[in-house]
Amino acid sequence: MSSSSAKSPLDALPRTTRRELLKRFGAMGLAGSTAGGLGLNLAAMSQASAAVGSSYRALVCVFLYGGNDAYNTVLATDSASWANYAAARSASNNALVLGAAGTPADPTSTAVHTRLGGVLPINPVHAQGRTLALHPAMTEVAALFNKGRAGVVANVGPLVAPLTKAQYMAGTGQKPVKLFSHNDQQSTWQSLATEGATAGWGGRMADQLLSGNGNSMFTATSIYGNAVWLAGQQARAYQLSQGGAIRIGSSSGAAFGSTTVQQKLVSLMSSSRNNSVLEREYAAVVGRSATAEGTLRNALPAMDAGPWGSGTNQATDALLMHANPSTGAMAVNPLAQQLQAVARMIAARQTLGVSRQVFFVGIGGFDTHDTQPDRHALALARLSHGLGYFDKALQAMGVDDGVTTFTASDFGRNLSSNGDGVDHGWGAHHFVMGGAVRGGDVYGTLPVYGKSSGNGVFDSPDQLSQGALLPSMPVERYAATMGRWLGLSDAQLLDMLPRLGNWSAADRTLGFLG
């Protein structure tokens, strides 16, 4: 049979599937004559076919800006750990110590820890010989954990390679640069490099997922402005407002009262009149933005069109409201507002033509150098309510098995107090949530909380000066576990997370995703 009449393995597939596979082959450099007959790379075909035929999956990064105090978020409550925690925190200010489990709440108190009552016990499947609890403002997350819908990943932080305290103190081990700096460590968590990096590991994941989406424009979406975590080599992050698509010109669609003027304005802004690289790039960005806004305006369901909302005004929607733990006053939760936008995007996934997505949301308030009790309780209450709200919405939408939400932050904080708060640390505990998460457990190794000598030195192999945690879990392993769940291969993970190779193959991923 001549080559012109030979049948390709693609011919047996439905037309729409063939089209998606050919798009993927093009991205792999396999399009053309090598995409048919014996020249077809069968391994690549298998990978592409699996991606096209798979169900929807998304990652949602919740970034806690300022550096979350992990010591007062996930607490070790076994007698030795609790005694050392309480001694270190109360050395300068007893108000920084949370109430023990079982301490009754006193809603009449003006002290937030007394008002909230004791810490909330959680019961991990593998407790590692410890007992654990969460901050009393985290009622929703405690319930999610105990129902098996959320898990804790212990002592995560940026690392170059495995590092012991002895190596760190002797200066013989490799350590990340510019530790304890907000901007640099936010960038390091998101991109694995200090401030100035141009691509993040969420964006690198999106690069690998683009060809599997019918509309690649919505593969990576931020509802918290520009974030390097979403930037890829090919993937461009789309920025969505918490209320929906951002329209160029007038939000009403009419500039100076005229839709024609609005259309002309967008046309001028998206046209390049010369060969200036800057002008052409600006015009391209505007053109993409206008196209995306038009697509989303028609695709996004209304704020009250599903379980994500009970009204069209976010400021008054009861589902988005939470109680201030210090006062009891109800207020709209900015994190829940962002997660509502994510839920609406997910609801529009079929219309938008996407099967793999990554999202970024953020919340501030975690830089608790002072007034720690009230500020941290408020930040954690917002986090807990937001995650609880989002989980309920996703379950009602029937997509919770396909969405994994996780937290990240600049760094943890010290165990020692500065008097009214706590200063910058390093490692911290984080949360993972979703229907695919093997919840109700702790992943990684819980650190030992040692005794302080009184001058900032702790007798624990896991605590550095002032009680800063030396991470035992690199960000790369945390990221690789989620990348594997999205469908990335070992080779792809090692390419986008090059320092992952500094850990043995058996230690490159965790088991928190099914």
Q: Is the pLDDT of residue 206 over 50?
A: yes
Range from 35-39, 213-217, 368-372 that averages highest in pLDDT: 368-372
Q: Where along the chain do its domains lie? A: 57-242+307-335+343-507, 245-299
pLDDT at 287 (0 to 100): 59
d(CA 270, CA 294): 14
The chain-wide mean pLDDT, for the chain, equals 87
| Cβ contacts of 128 within 8 Å, gap of 6 or more | 442, 445, 446
d(CA 89, CA 278): 53
Stated as kind and residue range, the H or E segment containing 62 is: strand 57-64
Integer angstrom CA distances of residue 263 from 137, 244, 248, 369, 428:
49, 20, 10, 49, 49
Q: The tokens of 356 are what?
A: 């793999």
Helix, strand and coil content of the chain, in percent to the nearest 5, comes to: 45, 15, 45
Stated as kind and residue range, the H or E segment containing 165 is: helix 165-170
Q: Is the pLDDT of residue 319 over 90?
A: yes
Mutual orientation of helices 15-28 and 42-53 as an angle, nearest 10°? 130
d(CA 6, CA 11): 10
| Cβ contacts of 290 within 8 Å, gap of 6 or more | 248, 266, 269, 270
d(CA 60, CA 339): 9
Q: For 19-52, how does the pLDDT look when each residue is reduced to its tens digit (9 = 90+)?
A: 434 444 443 333 333 334 333 333 433 343 344 3
* Least trusted range by pLDDT, from 222-231, 274-283, 322-331: 274-283
Per-residue HEC secondary structure of 249-268 comes to: CCCCCCECCEHHHHHHHHHH
Q: Average of pLDDT values for 216-233?
A: 95
| Cβ contacts of 86 within 8 Å, gap of 6 or more | 97
3-class state of residue 214 by DSSP: coil
Q: Average of pLDDT values for 87-113?
A: 94
250 — pLDDT class (breaks 50, 70, 90): low
Quote the DSSP letter at residue 274.
S
Q: In terms of DSSP bridges, do strands 442-443 and 120-122 run parallel, antiparallel, or are they unpaired? A: unpaired
For the chain, the first-to-last Cα distance in angstroms comes to 47
Burial label for 143, CB within 10 Å (0-12, 13-18, 19+), is middle
Give me the residues paired with residue 330 across strands: 323
245 — pLDDT class (breaks 50, 70, 90): confident
Q: Is the pLDDT of residue 200 over 50?
A: yes
Fold of domain 57-242+307-335+343-507: Alkaline Phosphatase, subunit A (3.40.720)
452 — pLDDT class (breaks 50, 70, 90): very high
282 — pLDDT class (breaks 50, 70, 90): low
Angle at 513 between CA 512 and CA 514, to 5 degrees: 125
Query: Structure pTM?
Result: 0.86
Give me the residues paired with residue 255 across strands: 258
pLDDT at 34 (0 to 100): 38
Q: Average of pLDDT values for 324-336?
A: 97
Q: The tokens of 442 are what?
A: 């702790």
pLDDT at 453 (0 to 100): 87
Count of CB atoms situated within 10 Å of the CB of 449: 26
408 and 471 Cβ atoms separated by less than 8 Å: no
